[in-house]
Amino acid sequence: MSIFLQIAIVLIGAAVIFSISWALSRTMRTPVRCGKDTDLATIVSIRNSAQGLEQTLEGLIWLRDNGVLEGQILIADCGVDEEGLALARLAVKKYGKIAFCKAEEVAQWIGETP
């Protein structure tokens, strides 16, 4: 077999593997969409000093900004201390379009959200 034929076979094989990988990665990143008369809300419950809140919100914001996730993001206070409360309020200001409420108010918030 000539060297050129071998190279062509390797290139075609690589292209097929790349195409399959690309198709699979697109499938795994299929956007979450709401149907008619449905809403989507992501609720992030925080406790104590809310460690990791920043990383969680950055991931959710990235998904929302890239069109993978739509809907509201809600931070629910499930017993945070002053440090956690300050962090949550700062996140609401920093990212915008994020709501913050007490855990007891989540059902009311969901009912009011368009």
Tell me the per-residue pLDDT of 55-69, one tens digit each, with 9 for 90 and over.
888 888 888 887 777
Four-CA torsion 28, 33, 39, 40, nearest 10 degrees: 20
Ramachandran category for residue 44: left, alpha or beta (phi over 0 → left; psi -120 to 50 → alpha): beta
pLDDT bin (cut points 50, 70, 90) of residue 27 is low
DSSP 69: B
pTM attached to this predicted model: 0.64
pLDDT tens digits, residue range 87-100? Answer: 888 888 888 788 88
As a 3-state breakdown, the chain gives helix, strand, coil percent values, each rounded to 5, of: 55, 20, 25
Length of the chain equals 114
In the block, residue with structure tokens 């918030």: 109
Instruction: Report how far residue 50's alpha carbon sits from residue 57's, in angstroms, rounded to the nearest whole number.
Output: 12
